[in-house]
Amino acid sequence: MKKEKNYLESAEINKDEIEKCRLLVKKIIKGQGRIFIKELLRSKKSEFPDIRLGVTKEDILANLEDAIIKGYITYDDLISWVREVEGWGKQHVYLYHINEEIAKEPVWSSQAAIREKLKKANINGKIWGSKEDLSFPRNLKLTYIQFDYPKFECVWHQGVTQLKREPSKDPKGRMIEGDKYEFRAYRQFPLRSVMRFELHLDTLLAGLFIQVPLGGDHIKAYKQAAQVLAKIFAFHKLNLVNLSSAIIALDQLELEREEGSIMEAHNTRFATTGATVEFAAGPTITGFKQVTAVRNVRRALDEEEFTGDSAKFVIHLTAGTSKKGELKRDVIMGMNTGTRDRIYLYAQMTKNEVWQVLKFVKDHENANNKSQ
């Protein structure tokens, strides 16, 4: 019988490697969702059966520490995992078609061609394929660029501080100038806000992903990305996927599928000249079409007389958008056709889940859309 490989017996674990892993866990990974860290452990458990999973986040992090010490999870494993989950979901997405002119630009001929573009644009060459950026810069900073055909990727980071309520640390009531005061304690912890651009030459689809909330800072982030990308290729010639068309198509798809829809409309708003019509579910149900009377009214709507204005869909990842072994749950996606067509993903997701959902949206955009 073949003896199971035991890293503790066969080799001395590199102490520097362990410390690098611990630093990465402390600075980056602890801020990730519990279920995602658990999935990292689960992905390695088939190779190392004695890895424990845990239930609470504290247990899961302790089990991650144990797996690192035993050499079951390496620094490269952690870096690869971070790139799959950090900055995916809980973000605004601008989804683009790649036209033939952009797809045939000489810059995509090789990594050398892109690196030459970066050099001419005075973009720091050290960020090419960088693995070890643990910074939390005060301002949004370009930290990573890579091109491995057919995918081109740029990543920006910015440090943000969040507050977590800690009732056990509340100071007791205090008297100040004769009045009694009560104080509530919050613990500050750093997180990284991520902005990312990915361009896929095989699917002719690109996305700009921004975690910065809407407002002045969001607009600045978009412009910063556009300025950098314009130095590399004709970013301004990308065409947004027509979400107005996609809203109607996705909402209609659910009408045609009585059961098993991947996306369920929680609310959709349709516009015509001078007026709008909105269908919305109450707080106790996931989709408005579950109510027969409202479903019948929706069936009576003539889609050719309206455009899709905005929508919120419940995405049933259990209904087929996830690969076998991926996380199985429901997430919410918003779609808005204001000044610039924009998608919002309300929950943290994996990279694979995000792109599966975005491709599904693109695939249900009508052929006669404004971006063609």
The domain locations on the chain are 7-85, 89-240, 243-363
Q: What is the rounded distance in angstroms from the CA atom of residue 215 to the CA atom of residue 233?
A: 27
pLDDT value at residue 177: 85
pLDDT digits 0-9 by tens, 261-306:
678 999 999 999 989 999 999 988 989 998 999 999 999 999 889 9
Tokens representing 291 are 């109510």
Tokens representing 61 are 């992090």
Q: What is the rounded distance in angstroms from the CA atom of residue 357 to the CA atom of residue 362?
A: 9
Q: Average pLDDT of the chain?
A: 87
pLDDT digits 0-9 by tens, 110-161:
999 999 999 999 998 889 988 767 788 889 999 999 999 999 999 999 987 7
pLDDT value at residue 262: 79
Strands 89-97 and 239-240: antiparallel
146 touches 118 (CB < 8 A)? no
Tell me the Ramachandran region of residue 174: left when phi exceeds 0, alpha when psi lies from -120 to 50, beta otherwise. beta
Residues of the chain with pLDDT under 70: 1-13, 132, 258-261, 318-327, 366-372
Global pTM?
A: 0.85
Positive/negative CA dihedral, 175, 176, 181, 184: negative
* Spacing of C-alpha 279 from chain mean position: 27
| Residue % of the chain over a pLDDT of 90 | 58
pLDDT value at residue 64: 94
pLDDT value at residue 11: 46
pLDDT value at residue 326: 53
Q: For the beta carbon of residue 115, count every other beta carbon within 10 angstroms.
A: 15
Q: For the beta carbon of residue 96, count every other beta carbon within 10 angstroms.
A: 23
H-helix segments, the chain: 7-10, 15-27, 34-45, 57-69, 75-85, 100-103, 111-120, 216-230, 243-256, 292-300, 351-363
pLDDT value at residue 368: 39
DSSP 303: G
